[in-house]
Amino acid sequence: MANPEYDVYDPQCPTRQALDRIADKWTALIVGLLAQRPHRFGELRRGIRGISHKVLSQTLQSLERDGLVRRAPLATVPPMVEYSLTPLGRTLDEPLAGIRGWAERHIDEVQAARDGYVPRPKARVSG
């Protein structure tokens, strides 16, 4: 049940920050991998082909700041860090799994629509 104090359609509502975080493609992919099990940084990077070191680092930091990911230093030599979902982060897995699945199920239709798309001519401005 939604909290009546908040309105995601209001640009001043803090829920917009949460939407920005969860609507990010990298968030959806990171949460998907971490829902399977904890991962080290390099494992995440190899699992999410195409993500840069910088973007992965920044996204993990944002997810940690938002309480969705836990960063745990491991007592190893050399030192390593493991990332896992927090209980709050686990609540995101189901909706994001639905979005990831939707993308895989419907990409052919999306690509066909893009291939058949004919842009409208730009309106001429008189003046």
Inside any domain, residue 107: yes
Please give the mean pLDDT across all residues of the chain.
Answer: 93
Domain that holds residue 68: 15-116
pLDDT in the model for residue 59: 97
| pLDDT mean over 16-30 | 93
How many structural domains is the chain composed of?
1
Name the nearest CA neighbour of 83 among 73, 75, 93: 73
List, in sequence order, every beta strand (DSSP E) within the chain. 39-40, 69-74, 80-85
CATH number, domain of 38, equals: 1.10.10.10
Give pLDDT tens digits for 50-84: 999 999 999 999 999 999 999 999 998 988 999 99
